[in-house]
């Protein structure tokens, strides 16, 4: 009996010990779990938990956060709507400023969207190798009255940019039809303008319906234009395709340009320009000038235009200067030019005038060293027009392998018109009147011309 009570007492004590141990373990577990929750809560009020990933950067008001280290700046992420109606100028400018600080960055205009951009200046200097990737559409304000009066000279103005590329398969649409009325022709508006910019490439994009000039380079250098399309109606006034002014070292190639004015216009201060593999038309052809307006000094040199097709244009390849100007045009080569239904394929006009009557003046921009070689095709008015100054004739003008025939639209004269032009001609030449178009120079005429060139040295 005693033994039985002893065994029961031992069993009872063992049960108490087991129960106490379980209670102690559960208590420790609960305490540990509560400590972890409190610790997590406390750390959520601070920056980061030790050993965890860093918190993402804070968002910038107005656009989504950008991954640290990203080099692509999509303007949709900077608040742009891309609906073609909302003003996306601020988003474009903000994306530009962010990308400008990073070497090799890209500002992206994504495909499938239309971005309405009011006149804007995208300014440098920026870090090198900045890219503007245009895959969507950029739209200018379509109404004249919506343009700020302080911005009536350019739509998108690139200023002080070096080592920069515009590329993509998108469209830059100037929506310029309201500007083509006579009352709005007092302004000189460029769709894309580069000022004091160097080592710039523009390739692959399409620029259409500019208020006036589509693409302008001013006081710039190291310019590459490749595989672009420029298009506006033949009736749109002053819509030059590409306009060069005070710009050096330019190559324009493999592009299609049709507009209401010069396909390429080369103005004073330009040198070392190479234009090749271009389709030009409609428009006014490829032109140097007008130069020397209002008795100004004009200096243009080392221009090569070759392997170009010109069709349905007012001129083929031409040089035009105002009476009374000073300076020189020298070392110019036009070769392998195919013309079709061009009013006058070859023009030098030192009596250029955009009015009904201009006052005769004795001073002129001197023109020398101009070569025309393999100019072939059809004209609608006259094959050649060389009208050089009485006081300062054109010198070293060479005509080689010129074969021009009237087109079925022909309503003009077969005879070449030549005045005070000196140089030499070499066959084949058609029509035959071209053979007597330039006269031999004994040297005195050259001396007169060279005496006027010193202002360009």
User: Nearest-CA neighbor of 276 among 313, 319, 227, 234?
Assistant: 227
- Name which of 448, 426, 280, 235 is nearest 362 in CA terms: 448
DSSP lists the bridge partners of residue 371 as 333, 398
Backbone angles phi, psi at 454, to 5 degrees: -60, -25
Neighbours of 220 (CB within 10 A): 25
Are 364 and 323 within 8 A, CB to CB?
A: yes
Q: How far is it, in rounded angstroms, from Cα 233 to Cα 238?
A: 11
Q: Report how far apart the first and last C-alpha atoms of the chain are (Å, whole number).
A: 135
Give the DSSP per-residue string, 195-246: ES-EEEEEES-EEE--SSEEEEEES-EEEEEES-EEE--TTSTT--SEEEES
Among residues 284, 341, 385, 441, which one is catalytic? 284
* Strand 171-173 relative to strand 206-208, pairing: parallel
If you search the block for the tokens 């070689």, which residue do you land on? 373
What phi and psi, each to the nearest 5 degrees, are found at residue 330?
A: -150, 155
* 261 in active site: yes
Cα 31 to Cα 20, 28, 35, 50, 391, distances in angstroms: 16, 5, 6, 22, 107
Taking the alpha carbons of 174, 175, 180, 185 in that order, is the dihedral positive or negative?
negative
Kindly name the residue from 261, 349, 396, 441 that is annotated as catalytic.
261
Tokens of 257: 């340009």
Token couple for 32: 């540990």
For residue 321, CA distances in Å to 181, 290, 304, 325, 438 come to 27, 5, 19, 8, 19
Is 254 a residue of the active site?
Answer: no
The secondary structure of the chain in percent helix, strand, coil, rounded to multiples of 5, reads 20, 45, 35
Query: Token pair for residue 160?
Result: 């002080």
What is the DSSP pairing of strand 384-387 with strand 315-322? unpaired
User: Residue 284 has which token pair?
Assistant: 């006014």
| CB-CB contact of 203 with 168 (8 Å) | no
Query: Would you please indicate which residues are annotated as catalytic (active-site) residues?
Result: 261, 284
């Amino acid at each position: 009996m005693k033994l039985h009570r002893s065994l029961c007492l031992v069993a009872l004590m063992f049960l108490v010990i087991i129960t106490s141990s379980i209670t102690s373990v559960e208590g420790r577990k609960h305490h540990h779990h509560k400590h972890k929750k409190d610790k997590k809560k406390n750390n959520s009020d601070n920056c980061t938990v030790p050993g965890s990933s860093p918190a993402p950067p804070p968002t910038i008001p107005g656009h989504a956060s950008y991954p640290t280290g990203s080099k692509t700046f999509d303007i949709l992420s900077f608040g742009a709507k891309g609906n073609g109606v909302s003003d996306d100028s601020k988003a474009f400018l903000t994306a530009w400023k962010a990308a400008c600080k990073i070497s090799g960055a890209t500002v992206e205009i994504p495909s499938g969207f239309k971005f309405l951009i009011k006149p804007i200046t995208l300014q440098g200097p920026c870090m090198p190798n900045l890219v503007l990737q245009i895959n969507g559409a950029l739209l200018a304000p379509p109404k004249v009255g919506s343009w700020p009066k302080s911005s009536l000279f350019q739509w998108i103005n690139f200023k002080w940019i070096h080592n920069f590329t515009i590329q993509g398969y998108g469209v830059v649409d100037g929506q310029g039809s309201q500007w083509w009325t006579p009352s709005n022709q007092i302004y000189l508006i460029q769709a894309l303008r580069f000022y004091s910019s160097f080592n710039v490439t523009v390739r692959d994009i399409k620029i259409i319906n500019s208020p006036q000039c589509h693409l302008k380079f001013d006081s710039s250098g190291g310019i590459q234009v490749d595989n672009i399309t420029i298009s506006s109606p033949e009736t749109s006034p002053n819509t030059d395709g590409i306009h060069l002014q005070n710009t050096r070292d330019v190559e324009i190639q493999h592009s299609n340009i049709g507009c209401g004015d010069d396909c390429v216009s080369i103005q004073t201060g330009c040198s070392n320009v190479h234009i090749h593999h271009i389709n030009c038309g409609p428009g006014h052809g490829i032109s140097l000038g007008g130069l020397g307006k209002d008795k100004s000094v004009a200096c243009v040199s080392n221009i090569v235009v070759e392997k170009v097709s010109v069709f349905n244009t007012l001129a083929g390849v031409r040089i035009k200067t105002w009476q009374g100007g000073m300076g020189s045009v020298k070392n110019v080569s036009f070769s392998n030019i195919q013309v079709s239904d061009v009013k006058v394929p070859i023009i030098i006009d030192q009596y250029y005038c955009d009015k009904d009557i201009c006052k005769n003046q004795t001073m002129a921009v001197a023109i020398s060293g101009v070569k025309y070689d393999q100019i072939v095709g059809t004209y609608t008015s006259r094959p050649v027009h060389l009208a050089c100054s009485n006081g300062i004739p054109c010198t070293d003008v060479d005509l080689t392998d010129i074969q021009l025939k009237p087109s079925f639209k022909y309503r003009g004269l077969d005879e070449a018109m030549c005045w005070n032009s000196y140089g030499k001609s070499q066959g084949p030449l058609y029509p035959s009147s071209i053979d007597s178009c330039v006269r031999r120079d004994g040297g005195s005429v050259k001396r007169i011309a060279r005496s006027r060139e010193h202002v360009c040295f």
